[in-house]
Structure 1
Amino acid sequence: MIRIVCSKLLLSLVLTLSFASSQGQKKPNIVVILADDLGFADLGCYGGEIPTPNLDALAKNGVRFTNFYNAARCCPSRAALLSGVYPHQAGVGHMMNDKGPDHPAYRGRLNNNTVTIGEVLKQAGYFTAMVGKWHVGQEQGVVLWKRGFDRSFNAPAGGFYYNDKKAQLFLNGNKLANDTSLLPENWYTTDLWTDYSLKFVDEAKATEKPFLLYLAHNAPHFPLQAPESEINAFKGKYLEGWEALRKQRYERQIKLGLIDPAWKLSPLNPNVPKWDSLSEAEKQKFDHIMAIYAAVVSHLDKSIGRLIDGLKQRGLFDNTVILFVSDNGGNAEPGFEARYEGDQPGAAGSAVFLGQGWAEASCTPFWAYKHHTHEGGIASPGIVSWPDGIPKSRNGSFEKQPAHVTDIMATLVDLSNATYPSVYKEEAIHPTVGVSLKPAFLGQQLKRQEPIFWEHEGNKAILDGKWKLVAENTEEWQLYDIEKDRSELHDLSTSEPEIAKKLLNRYEAWYQQIHAEPFKKTFPWFYDYNKLKRKDFSIAQ
């Protein structure tokens, strides 16, 4: 009898250990969420005042990157995220305009020398789905349902409300009429993306496969539109102006431990008027614009919260890796004057742009914005949640190692135990340039061997360890020690000429390798930072 009992106990122990082992080896589900035009300082967990409790909770119970970088603009960042190579290598060195076969970096679409995260993870046994803004060449025939995604619900470029003519929607490759009975009345894409994300999650669960969901929101990109009641909740909260908001966000960032107090607040761009110089009518207008933006960001957070709740209700949340980033810094388009059009600004059919004044606050504490390669243009929130995979001791921690949007492919390959191909569909594939971020989730060192590079519209930068060499299109090169001076106030190119020269040589070699080309256009909000700093360092204080 004792022998029988012992045998049963031994069998039970073996089965338990076997089950635990199989559970430990189970591939995680993966959700990659990309926000559009969200600045470094717009979320509560990055110093913002806009209520974002759901993303804040992910950060509190996960890991927050302090130095997560994008590719400075929407299409290039999407191409880099999907492919794991630099935008120019993928054929999207600028936007969707095709410059022809003599300009391989500027074809305006993902080329055939790339594979997408959908194609790679599908080969690894994943159910793959994409929801949201595609923007890597659908008009030229590069469609997600032919680039590795089993299920898709997307807009080629963007749009918020049901009556926006630009808000075209495709379900698994089939174009939908905006008033189709398949969609709710008066739909709003921020909500639709979550609706269909959960539908695809259910389909994935039925297959008993792990899933990859790439959720690309168009919020908070212009035209800024949100429910009126949510906009009204923020009206009057921004009458202190953009200088005050920048200072408040900066102080919260220091209090959070997000930034080093040694990093001083960058100067206000001279193209932005002081708030006190505005008329009362102008202050009311700009307060309303920022209220609309806050409502869009807040609603984005609510939608993400609904997705998180759906994963929890389905018992999937704990073994799901959620990675949240933004495609570029805050958006200064079309300049200080912003845009405020329509019978009811913020409603369906109106045209509201954030503008340069509030973009200054969006990018706190950094200089510049979307399009640019100073930190304001390329720094993104970066949040990762994975209850089953991230040690509880890491919950709420800040990860200071630099990460880049090209790292997402390598990270997903690592998490899924997939194989990144050298040849796919008889086409040679560019080697991925990123590194897996999984070690950083666990508090370990990344295996980055190469610098990180940027080029967009003639704006350029290289980051190698703590050293960053950067110049906007019309500027002289500047050198910064990012560890000591991430707000880029103290140019060391003169005092450290050998370091600057070494980085410049590496940059020029990379520039030739990716077939980048000069860019002639400049922008009304641009101000040469070299001139600004030579004029007066004290304005940075």
Structure 2
Amino acid sequence: MKYLPQVRCFLTIVLLNWLVGPAHAYENQKGARDARTDTDQRPNIVIVLADDLGYSDLGCYGGEISTPNIDALAKNGVRFTQLYNSARCCPSRASLLTGLYPTQAGIGDFTTDQPNPKRGPGYLGRLNDQCATLAEVLKPAGYGCYYVGKWHVHPETGPIKRGFDEFYGYTRDHSHDQYDADYYIRLPEGRDKEIDLSKDRFYATDVFNDYAIEFIRQGQSSKQPWFLFLGHSSPHFPVQAPADRADKYDEVYRRGWDVLREERFDRMKAIGLVDSPSWNLSPRSLVPVDRDDIANGFSGQDNPEWDSLDHDRQLDLARRMAVFAAMVEGVDQGVGKIIDHLRNTGHLDNTLVLFLSDNGACYEWGPFGFDGKSRLGETTLRQGTDLRDIGGPGTHQSYGSAWANLGNTPFRMYKHFTHEGGISTPFIAHWPAGIAKSDRWVRDPSHVMDIMPTLMEVAGATYPGQIRGNPTTPLEGVSLLPAMRGEKLSERTIGFDHQAAHAIRKGDWKAVYAKRMPHDLKWELYNLAEDRCEMNDLADQQPERTKEMIELWNQWARRVGVIWEPDTNVAVENVLPTGGLRNFKSPQIAKANLRIEVTVQSASPDGVVIAQGGSHCGYALHFVDGRPALDVRIDGEVTRLLSDHPIRGKSRLVATLTTDDMTLMVDGASSISKRSPGVIPVQPQDELSVGYDSMSAAGDYSSPNPFNGTVLSLDVTTSEVSK
């Protein structure tokens, strides 16, 4: 919901009257009232965010992992079937914290200490100065704000700087050894750790749970409403848990992922999550194309059948998944502690508790997982008594793509991708005083960016017009409170992008573009009302709708900064037949010889003159330190032809690409050449750009990489490849 300034005051008054009205003056099971002594009866708020938890890992979403406390929240609240995230941990966190798309908040794909200005402001790598966090919105409304766990939206914009009163956890990196007590910090600086365990007793998931209770106590003692964000690092790799906690799951996972996927899907039917023929259990997902050692020898192939593996490999993999399950159970136990404390102190009924995950289950990188902090190279096979070392102090393992495929049952693909398996999260809302007990499924499409306006509505908070002297980007999300109470949400369009994985959803229709596939990449089209698991690609049957959806994605991507059109002084003269880059038709370059001729002028040329294609295939004619270069990308790999001599002023460049050679000639001089990787095998989805690379990089650079001069003329011609 977007709040207009002239109605903010009115909405706040109405909301407060509603919250304290007699129809919602509930008491908890023990008859205790909210412990606050003042008349402010706005709800307390708890968000519990799991890390890399799959769609069906929880018991209340069909999983076999023991999660009785989270299941109880679901039984007494509502569950969403179509809440989306942003495919990876830090973009999802940026979106959740700000109510914006990740690029609008400054973290389009990942955090970084050295942002590339050529990628645009959406890829700053930290929260920008035009967004407000949940704490920066709730704190002015009178809430105490507390954060525990993983921050991961850059330490430069740490939790205290961005509105939270108290913090315990870590602010740098995506993960860390759960047993390393010295790594986790207390903020603001100078605070003593209220919980300071000896190193032999320290386990981060447990300590995060204990700190959640500690901060809740501090909030309760303040006599004002409070907000707690518990951002677990579990069950993100390294999969680590005390060995005795994992032992109970060994026999469960020695049965293998094929049997367990079938059983999960059956339970999903039994609990009403799968409610129609539109849900079908997808086949085992493929292992994305990558280096063969990283992908455990399965690059571009389907995950293997469990029964095809030798016994020792099965034991190793079962133990990895057992440790993962123990991590999830540890998160659940923390939820139980929070609920017990709230109940015992009279705060449960008037506390809104939200539980969700930041992305789909993580495939990195193959069916056997990885060992070691680099996440690269072959996987260690543990046997015998060494199996119980998995998940211990100093270890660094993942559980692999096949178990991740189980975690995302019944969907395809994983974290990093924009198919349903990468962007779908379990989402539970529990608030006895504000949401009637229903054990109900909410089936409206929604997104983590909707949490900000939801909390604004329940807290009577307003979104600031500016922050730290900067105008704020208007909210993108909508309040989910009506859906939690049984009302339908309006049809909407939601966009996605993560490192060349694109998607757009409008109503029931979804177009999705993958990456790292073993076949020709193209946009796919699905009707999710009839095919929630994306099994029936309709792109070839409905080309016009597919084209409309692709254009809708392009419009969205330009609006939110995924595609950044740099504000440069590049001039394009005598190039475009109808005037304006948008009217330049992209030539059909698939399986064809290419000839590109351009005339440019620059005192010290740098950047992209022309590019067509992207991270899968395409070409780019550009400059590197003043030297002309032709890049050709096929199946993700770039071949570069680079001139030895920098140029200045006005120059004419001619580049060619055939099945045998790629050549580059400057101002009519002798051309340079090298062996060609071949012609472009398929027509790229990324359209032709002049003066910069508007989408994913066709060459070996960071897009958009704008040209710093004038494109005086341009001609691209194709010819048939000789048989």
Which has the greater radius of gyration?
2
TM-superposition CA deviations, 1:312-343 (whole Å, max 9, x none): 11111110001111000001112112135696
Match of 2:210 in 1: 195
Residue number in structure 1 paired with 2:509: 467
Matches within 5 A, 1:244-323: 244-262=259-277, 263-269=279-285, 270-323=301-354
1:10-29 equivalences under 5 Å are 20=22, 23=25, 26-29=41-44
Q: Work out which of the residue numbers 483, 489, 496 in structure 2 matches 1:454.
A: 496
Higher mean C-alpha deviation, range 450-459 or range 509-518: 509-518
In structure 1, what is the Cα distance between the partners aligned to 2:433 and 2:24?
A: 14
CA distance in 2, matches of 1:325, 1:39: 10
Amino acid in the other structure paired with 1:114: C
Partner of 2:409: helix, strand, or coil? coil
The answer (yes or no) to whether the contact 1:155–1:168 under 8 Å persists in 2 is: yes
Look up the match of 1:37.
52
8 Å CA contact 2:502, 2:512 repeated in 1: yes
Query: Is the Cα contact below 8 Å between 2:177 and 2:394 reproduced in 1?
Result: no
**What does residue 361 of structure 1 align with?**
406
Q: Whose strand proportion is higher, 1 or 2?
A: 2
Alignment of 1:50-65 (within 5 A): 50-65=65-80
Q: Choose the corresponding residue for 1:101, options 108, 117, 120.
A: 117
TM-score w.r.t. length of structure 1:
0.88
Between stretches 373-382 and 190-199, larger displacement belongs to 190-199
Q: Assess if the C-alpha contact under 8 Å between 1:28 and 1:321 holds in 2.
A: yes
| Offset at residue 260 of structure 1 (A) | 3.3
Give the superposition deviation at 1:162: 3.2
Structure-2 separation of matches of 1:402 and 1:497: 24
When the two chains are superposed, the root-mean-square deviation of aligned CA atoms in Å is 2.4
User: Which string of whole-angstrom CA distances, capped at 9 and with x for unpartnered residues, describes residues 206-261 of structure 1?
Assistant: 22111111110000001111121111111122122111111111111111110234
Distance 2:56 2:473 in 1: 34
* Deviates further, 71-80 or 486-495: 486-495
Deviates more, 1:23-32 or 1:104-113: 23-32
The answer for the alignment partner of 1:409 in structure 2 is 452
Is the counterpart of residue 439 in structure 1 residue 482 in structure 2?
yes
**Code of the aligned partner of 2:337:** R
The structure richer in helix per residue is 1
* Number of equivalent positions: 500
Alpha-carbon displacement from aligned partner over 1:138-197 (angstroms, at most 9, x marks no partner): 1xx1111011111111212333533377x43233345989xx983454211111112111
Q: Aligned in 2, Cα 1:488/1:18: closer, same or farther, shift over 3 Å?
A: closer
Give yes or no for the alignment of 1:149 onto 2:164: yes
| Contact preservation (8 Å) 1:333, 1:353 | yes
1:514 aligned to 2:530?
Answer: no
What is the aligned counterpart of 1:161 among 170, 174, 178?
178
Could you tell me which runs of 5 or more consecutive residues in structure 1 were left unpaired when the two chains were aligned.
Answer: 1-16, 524-529, 531-541
SS in 1 for 2:402: helix
Q: Is the 8 A contact 1:161 1:348 kept in 2?
A: yes
The match for 2:154 among 116, 137, 142 is 137
Evaluate the alpha carbon distance shift between residue 77 and residue 242 of structure 1 in structure 2; reply closer, same or farther with a 3 A threshold: same
Distance change >3 Å, CA 457–CA 130, structure 1 → 2: same
SS of the residue corresponding to residue 440 of structure 1 reads helix
Equivalent residues of 1:162, 1:187 under 8 A apart: yes
Contact map agreement 1:289 1:354 (CA 8 A) in 2: yes
Instruction: Give the secondary-structure state (helix, strand or coil) at the position aligned to 2:250.
Output: coil
% identity of equivalent residues:
41
Structure 2 counterpart of 1:242: 257
Q: Separation in 1 of the partners of 2:21 and 2:105?
A: 42
TM-score (norm 2): 0.66
| Cα distance change on mapping 1:60 and 1:361 into 2, 3 Å | same
Partner of 1:78: 93
CA distance in structure 1 between the aligned counterparts of 2:44 and 2:356, rounded to whole angstroms: 18
Shift of 1:33: 1.0
Aligned counterpart for 2:245 among listed residues 227, 230, 233: 230
- Counterpart CA distance in 2 for 1:415 and 1:184 is 40
Query: Is this contact kept in 2: 1:328–1:370, CA < 8 A?
Result: yes
Which secondary structure state, in structure 2, belongs to the residue aligned with residue 305 of structure 1? helix
- Give the unaligned 5+ runs of structure 2: 1-18, 27-39, 286-300, 372-379, 564-613, 617-632, 637-681, 683-723
2:20/2:41 contact within 8 Å kept: no
Higher relative contact order (CA 8 A, sep 6+): 1
